[in-house]
Structure 1
Amino acid sequence: ALELLRLYAGENGYVARMNVAGFDALRMAGTIVPLEPQGSIRLWETDTNTPRISASNILSGRGDPLLRNAIAIVDLSAVGLTQYLPTPARPARPGVDIHADAIGQMLAARYLVEPTQARTLERMWLALSGIVFIGLSGVLAQRVMLGALALALLAATPFAFGALEYSLQGVLYDPLQPALATILVAGFEGYALYRRSEQRRSTLARQFSQFLSPSVVQRLA
């Protein structure tokens, strides 16, 4: 994709910017392309199908207006020859479509970015959801279904927020860590409530056993 874009722009080459972790960005034709440390770019996949033109039409001399001022990628559509690769959004996708999406996002200068404050926001949500769940644990302990609904809502919110930011602005957040941490906090809090309840029941049983028969104490417990 980078080489096709270089030829399309009429450039003789491109300049790579490095940092201590590896690659940082690529400058070509006045455009800065952010890179991962290993030299790859984050693919912003689209739902639009890449236009396809049969090679037989070109070889027979029939032109196509779609080729005017466009970047063409030659691909084999025969069974077993087309390369399929997994992407974050799809289990398998033709390699030509991946290159087309990469070229499109570089021409539009639209890139997936991870904000510098992403980790801070994720930790803040973890702390906030933990405080809310612990604060309401006394009420939710008597209402199991309401507690499960509150836990599901707190755990699903990071996923909904991350999906919305990704689809609208191409911003990346990690919803898995705060969601799992929220579930762990809820699990520990539920276990603590259970232990306190058992200790209270044991204390009451010992106190009443001094005045009542064991069968009556067992029914009261």
Structure 2
Amino acid sequence: MTKSLTRIGIVEDNDLLRLSLGTSLGQENIEIVFSVSTALEALELIETAKIDVLIADLHLGETINGIDVSLLWQKAHPDLGVVYLTSYEDPRLISGGKSPVMADNSVYVTKSSISKIDQLMQAINSSLEKKGAPQNTRTGPLAKLTDVQMETLSLLALGHSNKEIARIRGINEESVAISLNRISKALGLPAQMDRNQRVHLARVVLRGQGK
């Protein structure tokens, strides 16, 4: 008996990667139902396309990110599996440091961790097992940080001064400085209250974003 094809939808704004995914997955037991570059295109297909798994990048260069797309798709199709394929080591980087609500039956995979199509197939198959809670949602050194620390770090990476971070978070500047030192310690960086500390921390965020 012929095994039925797994129907896949892809939303990825990197043209080369999107084409590569379509070619590689097409050689497996996979049917590529759609492969689009924008969140809007993916959302327009919710009512008409029938898929088993959605592969979504997190950062799509729009106000709507890949997590938003997956939640809207899963609201319409509750049994949908989701694979987040992203350069972001931690999904909190897409939401200003806060832990985002992610789709059920989802698997979080960083692009840097995928060297063979078999690894992506494992993620796809895992999402089809309907395990409920999102899997593997945080990797890398940023996983050590709390949501509050991630929010502070995200604000720093956006170029905000300690004074501005204090105002946004509703705390004083001394508390911000203490928080940055604790973040540095958690990440294994020198805890020093100078300009170099901010540079080192900003670089950690950029690496976490795959830049």
Normalised-by-shorter TM-score class: under 0.3
Whose strand proportion is higher, 1 or 2?
A: 2
Write 1 or 2 for the structure with the bigger share of helix. 1
Larger radius of gyration: 1
Structure with more contact order per residue of length (Cα contacts < 8 Å, sep ≥ 6): 2
